[in-house]
Amino acid sequence: MRIAIIGAGITGLAAAYDLTKSGHNVVLFESASQVGGLASGFKADGWAWTLERFYHHWFASDRHVLALADELGCRESVFFPRPTTVMYHRGRFHALDSPLSALRFPGLGWGVRKLRFGLTTLYLRQSHDWRALEKITAAEWLTRWAGERVYRTMWEPLLLGKFGPFAPQIPMSWLWARLNVRTTRLGTFEGGFQAFLDTLADRVRRQGGEIRLQHPVTRITASVESGVRVESNGAEHHFERCLATCSPQQLAELATQLPPDYRRQLLQLQSMGAVMLVLALKQHLSEHYWFNLPAQAGFPFLALVEHTNFVSPEHFGGEHIVYCGDYLERDHEYFSLQKEELLERFLPALSRFNADFEAGWVQRSWLFRSRYAQPVPRVDGSRKLPALRTPLPGLWLASMSQIYPWDRGTNYAIELGRRVAASLTAG
């Protein structure tokens, strides 16, 4: 079949890999100048490796990533350091990257609270029944079983940081998914994620696929003679099947022939955007990789990630790379501020990580933003997700909103892409 894929992010590339391997004629339309979507990277002057625009890492349990790397013959380029993660509490940072360090976290207090935290965490890591947990919010479940002090100290800051005003609505199944599969060992790819994405894209091309960069799609319609018509750069193209890997809201705008009920379902799916300020420093800021920052602690961003405490600064010309990132509502002022304005707001906070920090440490900086970066799951979310196959004949949707209950990430994007490829050719 002749198949169009809208978006050359990891989901679209994974689907294209399987489809071209099966002999289908695949064309990917990508609005950007490179493949990769939210996982894509860039390389500044003097760097040997690319750097992700938005911080990324894999977990040792990410079997879909590892399986694909095996198939591509690049598994030896995946490696797993063990960087340190800390959480802010009352003016200090405390280790929070293992069950033992979590039990030692001073914010929990002593005695029964630590016991309840340990038992509920153990239960969630051992349980496989996430469907029962999607019928109750994380706030309700954790307050009942872990206790209000544990919820307010350990879990509420995570939910508020990720979802802001939506935090009270998040189902317990989402938190279960995070605890159930994540590991303390974190992985990346030699050369950066972009090197992995380029390897996958090259394989798609060698298998006969075509990737059209800087080709945004502006319209999707049902074809009179059957199939789908895709409009891009002023031209119309006919395909027997079409897979959209964009956001649900974008698909609703592109495919106006979708039935009103389905379009309404797409538009009701909520999401958070992401703002990422990347700094290249002339010396390291800290000894840690990941800093969890509670919203009430007064930092101007959700997380600080010192990437070069994960991989060596020698890959980046000796520069020390720091991400200052936040998940925000799509109309937040951070989406309209200029880079210089965000630097003015963010840089003073870095002295809380290192008292010696000065603005002169910053050698270069970059600003990246996306209004669709973190889907907001809902109670009974599995019943509210749109089907992969849309009501418009020949059109499928695979977005990160549909990987529920799992959190967004490249591992589940690969799984989704390969699953929808099988569905697309079977239907």
- Residue 121, token pair as written in the block: 């965490």
Which of the residue ranges 113-117, 266-270, 285-289, 376-380 would you say has the lowest mean pLDDT? 113-117
Checking if the pLDDT of 96 tops 90, the result is no
Helix/strand/coil percentages in the chain, nearest 5: 40, 25, 35
Which of the residue ranges 40-49, 64-73, 182-191 would you say has the lowest mean pLDDT? 182-191
Q: Give 224's pLDDT tier (boundaries 50, 70, 90).
A: confident
Checking if the pLDDT of 125 tops 90, the result is no
Checking if the pLDDT of 106 tops 80, the result is no
Q: Using an 8 Å Cβ cutoff, are 166 and 269 in contact?
A: no
Q: Give 87's pLDDT tier (boundaries 50, 70, 90).
A: confident
Q: Give 61's pLDDT tier (boundaries 50, 70, 90).
A: very high
Q: What angle do CA 281, 285, 320 make, to 5 degrees?
A: 35
For residue 427, what pLDDT is reported?
62
DSSP element (H, E) containing 14:
helix 10-21
The half-sphere exposure of 40 on its side-chain side, counting CA atoms within 13 A, is: 18
For residue 184, what pLDDT is reported?
80
**Of all residues in the chain, what percent carry a pLDDT higher than 90?**
77
Residue whose C-alpha is closest to residue 181's, from 130, 145, 135? 130
For residue 114, what pLDDT is reported?
81
Mind giving me the DSSP string for 94-143?
EE-SSHHHHHH-GGG-STHHHHHHHHHHHHHHH---HHHHTTSBHHHHHH
Q: What is the DSSP letter of 390?
A: -
Checking if the pLDDT of 98 tops 90, the result is no
Q: Using an 8 Å Cβ cutoff, are 236 and 230 in contact?
A: yes
Checking if the pLDDT of 422 tops 70, the result is yes
- Residue 324, token pair as written in the block: 């200052």
| Rounded Cα–Cα distance for residues 83 and 291 (Å) | 11
Q: What is the DSSP letter of 255?
A: -
Span(s) in the chain for CATH 3.90.660.20: 271-375
Q: At what angle do helices 138-145 and 112-126 cross, to 10 degrees?
A: 130
Which of the residue ranges 21-30, 101-110, 186-195, 405-414 would you say has the lowest mean pLDDT? 101-110
Span(s) in the chain for CATH 3.50.50.60: 2-79+190-270+380-426
Checking if the pLDDT of 296 tops 80, the result is yes
Largest CA distance in the chain: 70
Domain 2-79+190-270+380-426 CATH superfamily: FAD/NAD(P)-binding domain (3.50.50.60)
Checking if the pLDDT of 110 tops 90, the result is no
| Rounded Cα–Cα distance for residues 65 and 139 (Å) | 32
Q: Is the peptide bond before 405 cis (omega within 30 degrees of 0)?
A: yes
* Residue that has been written with the tokens 């947990």 in this structure: 133
Looking at residues 420-426, what average pLDDT do you find? 93
**Of all residues in the chain, what percent carry a pLDDT higher than 70?**
99
| Rounded Cα–Cα distance for residues 419 and 338 (Å) | 40
Q: Kindly report, residue by residue over 241-253, the tens digit of the pLDDT.
A: 999 999 999 999 9
Checking if the pLDDT of 12 tops 70, the result is yes
Q: Give 290's pLDDT tier (boundaries 50, 70, 90).
A: very high
The half-sphere exposure of 265 on its side-chain side, counting CA atoms within 13 A, is: 18
Residue 378: how many CB atoms within 10 A of its CB?
21
pTM of the shown model: 0.94
Q: Kindly report, residue by residue over 317-376, the tens digit of the pLDDT.
A: 999 999 999 999 989 999 999 999 999 999 999 999 999 999 999 999 999 999 999 999
Burial class for 136, CB neighbours closer than 10 Å (0-12, 13-18, 19+): middle
Q: Give 54's pLDDT tier (boundaries 50, 70, 90).
A: very high
The mean pLDDT of the chain is: 93
Classify 271-375 by CATH class. Answer: alpha beta
Checking if the pLDDT of 155 tops 70, the result is yes
Looking at residues 61-67, what average pLDDT do you find? 96
